[in-house]
Structure 1
């Protein structure tokens, strides 16, 4: 409790992210879009190995982003890029061309990637106050 009795005090107030952190988020967003595009092409080309390769690449990027930036927010940027790229690629074009077929592999890639996004964002390291390895508390 704080000294005013109104609730717990935050260890550090929130502040604006640095320019390097913003650049890292932008880079992870772009990498997510590239992995989504590559996964779209690979998952259909070499089924079922391509599907596993595409999902493993996405999971590696999502979890790697979380560990690289030291928090779960590091997984959100590549997930957002991946989702936008995959959703844009699922839409049909006026000419009738599309990258996703109606097969089960496409749905496994789409829903499996979303499930991996949730899992990796959950498993990513949470924010911890800086200090020693002592137990937090009183």
Structure 2
């Protein structure tokens, strides 16, 4: 062994003289990022538009239209989650979607409403809410740490 050996790092000695910090709040407890607020508002408006379009499509073309409307909703909720990287990114379009669909449920004073049949209404409402919950509660998205685009290494 040479006389100029490096001392081994021990887990007992800190590497810096900085005092340990407690981790900050994360998730919905973290303070909102002001730069993301316009993104969340835009996602909520897009959710309302998709809810309106889905309502019209599922009532007009029942079996295929319902699947198309739910696929569009799922795509928007998942895109919001991926775009922002937060659960709120999936919840913002879901809130806009839900408000638009509930407002369309009110109907008109004449007694007609937008939804064509009760089965389509139930499947659209329950399916859309289930997709929103799935997108909001899915685990974190897998991003590679080294930036090569390859996972697992």
TM-score range, shorter chain: 0.7 to 0.9
Contact 1:66 1:75 (C-alpha < 8 Å) held by counterparts: yes
Structure 2 counterpart of 1:49: 64
3-state DSSP class of the match of 1:24? helix
Larger radius of gyration: 2
Cα distance in 2 between the residues matched to 1:49 and 1:124: 30
**Match 1:106 to one of 107, 116, 121:** 121
Q: Aligned Cα RMSD in Å?
A: 2.4
Structure 2 counterpart of 1:72: 87
Distance verdict in 2 for CA 1:94–1:48, change over 3 Å: same
Give 1:113 shift. Answer: 0.5
Aligned length: 123
Whether 2:66 is the aligned partner of 1:35: answer no
TM-score w.r.t. the length of structure 2 is 0.72
Cα distance in 2 between the residues matched to 1:35 and 1:57: 7
Consecutive unaligned residues of structure 1, counting only runs of 5 or more, are: 127-131, 134-138
Give 1:56 shift. Answer: 0.3
TM-score w.r.t. the length of structure 1 is 0.79
Consecutive unaligned residues of structure 2, counting only runs of 5 or more, are: 1-18, 147-153
Give 1:12 shift. Answer: 6.2
Whether 2:31 is the aligned partner of 1:18: answer no
